[in-house]
């Protein structure tokens, strides 16, 4: 399976406030954990039966943000775009870490 993150800055001024999304992968099963303050919601998304002719419908989850941005099977391989947040702009990241890259890759990667 290949995944790609779609990032968005999330801070105290964001409409949803500050929260994190963490992912774990097991073949074509994705487990996402949403964390905001003392609230934790974990949900599992199984793409093992997703075929090349399937289209992603509305994803049912208790997580209050759209985690799965897109999903399709291409030449037998599952490709999923996932939502990911970060809390610093480029200048803040350069000042704190010495580089301005996002704390995650936005390129396709095999998991």
pLDDT digits (tens, 9 = 90+) for 19-74: 989 999 999 999 999 999 899 999 999 999 999 999 888 889 999 999 999 999 99
What's the rounded Cα separation, in Å, for the pair 19 and 89? 16
Q: How far is CA 103 from CA 33, 43, 44, 50, 90, in A?
A: 17, 23, 23, 30, 11
pLDDT in tens, 87-111: 767 777 777 677 667 777 788 888 9
Residue 49 is predicted with a pLDDT of 93
Q: Please, are residues 65 and 83 in contact by the beta-carbon 8 Å criterion?
A: yes
- pTM score of the predicted model: 0.83
In 3D, which of 39, 4, 36 has the Cα closest to residue 23? 4
Number of domains in the chain: 1
Residue-range definition of the domain harbouring residue 33: 2-110
* Number of residues that make up the chain: 111
Q: Please, are residues 16 and 34 in contact by the beta-carbon 8 Å criterion?
A: no
The region that residue 17 occupies, defined by phi over 0 for left and psi between -120 and 50 for alpha, beta otherwise, is left
């Amino acid at each position: 399976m290949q995944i790609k993150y779609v990032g968005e800055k999330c801070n105290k001024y964001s409409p949803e406030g500050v929260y994190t999304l963490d992912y774990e992968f097991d073949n074509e099963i994705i487990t996402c954990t949403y964390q905001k303050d003392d609230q934790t919601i974990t949900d599992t998304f199984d793409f093992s039966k997703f075929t090349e002719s399937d289209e992603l419908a509305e994803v049912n989850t208790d997580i209050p943000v759209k985690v799965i941005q897109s999903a399709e099977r291409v030449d037998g391989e599952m490709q999923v775009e996932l939502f990911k947040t970060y809390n610093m702009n480029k200048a803040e990241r350069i000042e704190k870490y010495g580089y301005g890259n996002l704390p995650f890759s936005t390129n396709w990667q095999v998991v």
